[in-house]
């Protein structure tokens, strides 16, 4: 059978109201063959976790510019795990120092991408990560 498209939830937690960056990613992922669900801005961790569960996604991408990533990202991972999404891939984007990135990785955020990351890199990362397990 032909492979089914992978599904990705792109979410914007926190209070910042700019989602141009998130929308660029959404479009790039769609053009790379993913089915992308976008939640829009200012979503609470609970809303994001519920959406990820109902949508049956293979990965959740969190975009955040406001600097609250150290509290919001781990909280979202925790809620996802609590809902039974134990192996769901979580990645993030934003202005995140290396030190924070390491701590986030420990908290279950597989990878964070800086603001200038080429879209191809994110696509390649997801293709590789989602190629195996389902």
Among 16, 21, 53, 111, binds other proteins (CB under 8 A): 53
Q: How far is CA 98 from CA 72, 79, 83, in A?
A: 17, 24, 29
Closest contact distance (angstroms) between CB of 80 and other proteins is 11
Among 16, 21, 30, 119, binds other proteins (CB under 8 A): 30
Please say which residue, 56 or 118, places its beta carbon nearer to other proteins: 56
Q: Write the binding mask 75 to 104 for other proteins: x where contact by CB under 8 A, - elsewhere.
A: --------xx--------------------
Question: Does 33 engage in binding with other proteins (CB under 8 A)?
Answer: yes
Question: Does 37 engage in binding with other proteins (CB under 8 A)?
Answer: yes
Instruction: By CB under 8 A, name the binding residues for other proteins.
Output: 1, 4-5, 26-27, 29-40, 43-44, 46-47, 50-51, 53-56, 83-84
């Amino acid at each position: 059978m032909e492979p089914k498209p992978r599904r990705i939830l792109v979410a914007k937690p926190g209070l910042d109201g700019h989602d141009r960056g998130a929308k660029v990613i959404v479009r790039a992922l769609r053009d790379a063959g993913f089915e992308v669900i976008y939640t829009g801005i200012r979503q609470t961790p609970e809303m994001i976790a519920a959406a990820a569960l109902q949508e049956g996604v293979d990965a959740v991408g969190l975009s955040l510019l406001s600097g609250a990533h150290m509290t919001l990202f781990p909280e979202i991972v925790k809620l996802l795990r609590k809902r039974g999404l134990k192996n769901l891939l979580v990645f993030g984007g934003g202005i995140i120092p290396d030190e924070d990135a390491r701590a986030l990785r420990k908290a279950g955020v597989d990878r964070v991408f800086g603001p200038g990351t080429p879209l191809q890199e994110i696509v390649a990362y997801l293709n590789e990560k989602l190629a195996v397990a389902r």
